Chain A
Amino acid sequence: MIDTMSRAATTPAAPSTPASAAPTGAAPPVSPVGPAGAAPATALHGRHLLGIADLTREEILLILDTAEAMKEVGSRAIKKVPALRGRTVVNLFFEPSTRTRTSFEIAEKRLSADTLNIAIATSSVTKGETLADTVRNLEALSPDMIVMRHASSGACHLLARICKSRIINAGDGMHEHPTQALLDAFTIREHKKRIEGLKIVIVGDLLHSRVLRSNVLLLNKLGANVWVAAPRTLMPAGIDQFGVTATTNVDEAVKDADVVMMLRIQLERMQGNFFPSIREYFNLFGMTPERVKLAKDDVIIMHPGPMNRGVEIASEVADGASSVILEQVSNGVAVRMAVLYLLAGGGEA
């Protein structure tokens, strides 16, 4: 697990001249990556969004700020702007997804892009075609962007190396899910007005979670105090090297937390037994109303979905006053609009 993560941090997926302070309309900047508190970014330096690992703090803030403007578009009577008119975006999903795929599709439509959905069940991958060939064939139709979800970690990085289109990672294996982390950060910032210094606790299946990896990377870049809690069997080895406080004691983690983020128990990725029973997991690690009381009064409860009620989260909590789970879903559209818009521009070719 750790291998996957550290590789992501060092693999240059795209030409990566860091640009923390690119002046608008100017030549590609040559300045090195700025320290925290550098001038606001006005562009993303990469052509793709493969993971949070490739983004600077300033780029993350640029995406979140742009998403605020995009959110307003979604509140209008006519929820559509002409910004991406004439651009074609392919949504290539090799894994089942309802939330993320529809969220991307709505985001693309609100920006007036032409969209094309390809789901694995109907593609020629089932006839034995390789990923590279599938994508080369798609490229012959000259799309501008490809949004891809794939069960293999690093699949989007492979794509980015072989094709001309811009790639947006919509989740690759157990590696990263950058737009989820961005929408989580957006939701936290909306409620808390900041991210720096907050105690943010992530509880659940840490081992199989790409949401965890992207979130830890992002929250650390923005200066949060990140805690993670899980049974030993679901805790990646060496997790504390990622700048988080890891514990098997959920109560300790949740105490005085500003944000509690629950992760789904991914039964479909589990081969073997990670805990004795679902009931025991719920008792020891599930988010119950009693546990929520340990956190700060204004705590927000998050979940990337889909939820397993009664496994990682109690229904009373999922539907309770502190839950922002449905807001996360609506914010996902705004954040994805921001990413699509920012990547559709020039950037460094």
Chain B
Amino acid sequence: MPVVIDGQRMERSLARIAHEIVERNRGVEELAFAGIRSRGVPLAQRLAASLKHITGVDVPVGTLDITLYRDDLMRHPVGPQPLVRRTEIPFSIDNRRILLVDDVLFTGRTIRAALDALIDFGRPRAIQLVVMVDRGHRELPIKADYVGKNLPTSLSQSVRVRLEEIDGRDEVVVEETTS
């Protein structure tokens, strides 16, 4: 299983994205992060730390669990329900620019669910999408605003982002799935 992004490369990508965020929003006023569980959350926290380093401003970070908004819930006649965990958005999203963060952008269905979840919290001025890897194969009209790396893949492959906070090390690997 080839490592396509190592720890150093990931760090540089995140640093670049942090600068892009500042440039594109002309500062960080009214910005807030919403990390999608699980791996969007540490990525959002790292970006927030970078923004603090660059601008000195604390950008709030929230956590979004999109399980209850999935479009494949209740479509399986058998099998357990996906685990639901807490969503924590400890700030008002009204009139803020929300940076939605996830590890991999694939079909776009997770992002669709996340957009629905976010809108239930209020009316943000804008939502921008940050992903570590865009692997293609979209099934919905969704596009990322900030991408760590575009990674052309085939549908038989799986892309795994590992993060220090959850998996003990930073890397992105592409695996051939046997099914």
* A contact set with B: CB distance below 8 Å: 22, 24-25, 28, 42-44, 65-66, 68-70, 72-73, 76-78, 80-87, 111, 338, 341-342, 344-349
- Assuming the contacts A346-B77, A347-B78, asked whether A81 and B120 have C-beta atoms less than 8 A apart, the reply is yes
- Assuming the contacts A68-B86, A69-B87, A87-B74, asked whether A345 and B121 have C-beta atoms less than 8 A apart, the reply is no
- Assuming the contacts A82-B116, A86-B74, asked whether A341 and B79 have C-beta atoms less than 8 A apart, the reply is no
Contact between A344 and B77, CB atoms less than 8 A apart: no
Is B68 among interface residues, defined by CB-CB distance under 8 A?
A: yes
Contact between B77 and A24, CB atoms less than 8 A apart: no
Q: CB-CB < 8 A to A22: which residues of B? A: 80
Contact between B121 and A72, CB atoms less than 8 A apart: no
* Nearest residue, chain A, Cβ from B89: A76
Besides the known contacts A83-B68, A84-B74, A346-B81, 8 further A-B residue pairs in the complex with CB atoms under 8 A apart: A25-B80, A43-B80, A76-B121, A86-B74, A87-B74, A111-B68, A345-B81, A346-B78
Chain B nearest CB, measured from A109 CB (Å): 14
Task: For the complex, give the distance between the alpha carbons of A346 and B65 in Å.
Answer: 21
- Assuming the contacts A81-B68, A81-B69, asked whether A66 and B121 have C-beta atoms less than 8 A apart, the reply is no
Q: CB-CB < 8 A to B79: which residues of A? A: 25, 43, 345-346
Task: For the complex, give the distance between the alpha carbons of A341 and B68 in Å.
Answer: 9
Query: Total interface residues on B, using CB and 8 Å?
Result: 24
Q: Which of A24, A28, A68, A81 contacts B82 (CB 8 A)?
A: A24
Contact between B76 and A345, CB atoms less than 8 A apart: yes
Contact between B77 and A349, CB atoms less than 8 A apart: yes
**A-B pairs under 8 A by CB, number:** 77
* Nearest residue, chain A, Cβ from B92: A77
Q: CB-CB < 8 A to A65: which residues of B? A: 83, 85
- Assuming the contacts A69-B87, A82-B68, asked whether A348 and B122 have C-beta atoms less than 8 A apart, the reply is no
1/0 per position for B110-143, CB-CB distance to A under 8 A?
Answer: 0000001100111000000000000000000000
Contact between B87 and A345, CB atoms less than 8 A apart: no
Q: CB-CB < 8 A to B74: which residues of A? A: 83-87, 344-345
- Assuming the contacts A42-B83, A77-B121, A83-B73, asked whether A69 and B65 have C-beta atoms less than 8 A apart, the reply is yes
- Assuming the contacts A77-B121, A82-B68, asked whether A72 and B78 have C-beta atoms less than 8 A apart, the reply is no
Contact between A24 and B69, CB atoms less than 8 A apart: no
* Nearest residue, chain A, Cβ from B82: A24
Is B175 among interface residues, defined by CB-CB distance under 8 A?
A: no
**Interface core residue of B73, B76, B80, B88 (most chain A CB under 10 Å):** B80
16 cross-chain CB contacts under 8 A: A28-B78, A42-B80, A42-B83, A65-B83, A68-B86, A72-B88, A77-B121, A81-B120, A82-B69, A82-B116, A111-B68, A341-B81, A342-B81, A345-B74, A346-B81, A349-B77
Task: For the complex, give the distance between the alpha carbons of A42 and B82 in Å.
Answer: 8
Is B84 among interface residues, defined by CB-CB distance under 8 A?
A: yes
Q: Which of A69, A80, A344, A349 contacts B120 (CB 8 A)?
A: A80
Task: For the complex, give the distance between the alpha carbons of A32 and B88 in Å.
Answer: 36
Contact between B80 and A347, CB atoms less than 8 A apart: yes
**8 Å CB interface, B81-108 against A:** 81-88
Contact between A69 and B80, CB atoms less than 8 A apart: no
Chain B nearest CB, measured from A83 CB (Å): 4
Task: For the complex, give the distance between the alpha carbons of A349 and B76 in Å.
Answer: 12
Task: For the complex, give the distance between the alpha carbons of A212 and B1 in Å.
Answer: 56
Give the 8 A-B CB pairs with smallest separation, nearest first.
A43-B80, A345-B81, A346-B78, A81-B68, A346-B79, A83-B68, A69-B84, A78-B120
Task: For the complex, give the distance between the alpha carbons of A70 and B120 in Å.
Answer: 14
Contact between B120 and A76, CB atoms less than 8 A apart: yes
Chain B nearest CB, measured from A333 CB (Å): 15
Q: CB-CB < 8 A to B117: which residues of A? A: 81
Contact between B83 and A348, CB atoms less than 8 A apart: no
Q: CB-CB < 8 A to A28: which residues of B? A: 78
Q: CB-CB < 8 A to A349: which residues of B? A: 77-78
- Assuming the contacts A83-B73, A86-B74, A345-B74, asked whether A73 and B68 have C-beta atoms less than 8 A apart, the reply is yes
* Nearest residue, chain B, Cβ from A342: B81
Q: CB-CB < 8 A to B67: which residues of A? A: 83
Contact between A70 and B122, CB atoms less than 8 A apart: no
Contact between A24 and B83, CB atoms less than 8 A apart: yes
Contact between A348 and B84, CB atoms less than 8 A apart: no
